[in-house]
Structures are given as structure tokens and as C-alpha cells.
């Protein structure tokens, strides 16, 4: 049984990044953090928590010079438990920078891996578009 997200909800104004999952993300189980978001992340490897629906996953965040990512440990469980596939979109909202807590929203679909367009997602009239 995998966690189901009940609904897409507006963002709360915290920093966030989006990803359209690639084969590497869902088969090699490593998710790179976009460089544009890296200034929000610590300069040391640490534990991070991902919250999606009513469940939580502990993942290992790795800081390595110019490369920041969630490594296989924990990320694999998140991918498997949520039945993630290449082309699914995710929004990672940093809810607590000190504790590294992320609220994750999953957008099912076969979207190409392109940058985010649109608004800031704070309300339904200003949505984030993954095109």
C-alpha cells in the first residue's frame, strides 16, 4: 500500500523547488537539489524529513561541493511507497529550514523535464505550472 495525496493545496509562502522525475530519480534513487535552491540548504550533510499526505520519510541529504542531493537511503522508500514514476512532478516546500522538513506534493503525469513556469502557487489563481 502506498501513500496517497488527498489533494493539491496552495503553497504557504516558504521556499520551494519543483522537479519532474527522471529515470535517474526513480530507478537509481537519487534526487538532485536544483542549484537555484541550494542557498536554502545546509552546507553539511544532514537528515531531512519529507511529509506527503499523512506519512513521513527520513532521507539523507548530501552536501558535496557543487552537488546537493537526497541519496538512496530514504529516497528509495519515498519513491516506492508513493508509486513514483518517470514524468511525475513534485513540489518540495521547505517548511522548517532548521529541521529540514519538506512538504511534498506529487503531481501525477508524463510531463517533460522542463523548468517551472507560472506563478508562485500561493493560491489557485496563481498556480505553478510544470510544462
pLDDT tens, per residue, the chain with 131 residues: 344 455 678 888 999 999 999 999 999 999 999 999 989 999 999 999 999 989 999 999 999 887 899 998 899 999 999 999 999 999 999 999 999 999 999 998 744 444 455 555 555 566 666 54
Architecture of the domain spanning 16-130: Beta Barrel (2.40)
Is the pTM value of this prediction over 0.75? yes
Helix (H, G, I), strand (E, B) or coil at 4: coil
3-state helix, strand, coil in the chain (%, to 5): 15, 35, 45
> How distant is the alpha carbon of residue 1 from its chain centre?
21
* Residue in 85, 79, 69 with CA at minimum distance from that of residue 30: 69
Provide the residue ranges of all domains of the chain, joining segments of one domain with +. 16-130
Q: How far is CA 127 from CA 9, 85, 121, in A?
A: 10, 23, 4
How far, in Å, CA of 118 to CA of 94, rounded? 19
Residue 94's pLDDT is: 97
Residue 44 phi, psi (nearest 5)? -140, 150
Amino acid at each position: 500500500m502506498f501513500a496517497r495525496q488527498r489533494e493539491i493545496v496552495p503553497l504557504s509562502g516558504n521556499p520551494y523547488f519543483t522537479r519532474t522525475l527522471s529515470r535517474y530519480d526513480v530507478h537509481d534513487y537519487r534526487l538532485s537539489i536544483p542549484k537555484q535552491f541550494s542557498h536554502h540548504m545546509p552546507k553539511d550533510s544532514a537528515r531531512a524529513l519529507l511529509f506527503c499526505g499523512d506519512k513521513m520519510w527520513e532521507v539523507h541529504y548530501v552536501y558535496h561541493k557543487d552537488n546537493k542531493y537526497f541519496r538512496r537511503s530514504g529516497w528509495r522508500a519515498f519513491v516506492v511507497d508513493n508509486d513514483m514514476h518517470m514524468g511525475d512532478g513534485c513540489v518540495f516546500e521547505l517548511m522548517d529550514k532548521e529541521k529540514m522538513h519538506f512538504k511534498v506534493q506529487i503531481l501525477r503525469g508524463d510531463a517533460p523535464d522542463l523548468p517551472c513556469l507560472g506563478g508562485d502557487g500561493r493560491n489557485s489563481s496563481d498556480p505553478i505550472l510544470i510544462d
